[in-house]
Amino acid sequence: MLSMLFIIFFLMIFGRMLGFAIKATWSIMKVLVFLVFLPLILIGLLMGGLIYIAFPILILVGIVSLIAKVVVAS
């Protein structure tokens, strides 16, 4: 009986910690994608001569960031 209670509490505590770890990992990955990988991809496209693909992506990301800034400010 005591071991069953231990297992239940163990799963409750470490289940919450696992949920927090997944949320933290997702947030860190979003930051890495937008601050590191997206600029590197755009620079790679520019260097590769694919400016006609890189420029619309850059415009789209700029518009989205402006809209997000306005929404957060209000």
What's the predicted TM-score (pTM) here? Answer: 0.54
Of 24 and 70, the one with more pLDDT: 24
Residue 65 has pLDDT above 70, yes or no: yes
The pLDDT tens digits for 6-58 are: 888 888 888 888 888 888 888 888 888 888 888 888 888 888 888 888 888 88
- Work out the pLDDT band at 2, boundaries 50, 70, 90: confident
Overall domain count for the chain: 1
Residue 74 has pLDDT above 70, yes or no: no
Range of the domain at 8: 2-73
Long-range contacts of 7-14 (CB under 8 A, 24+ apart): none
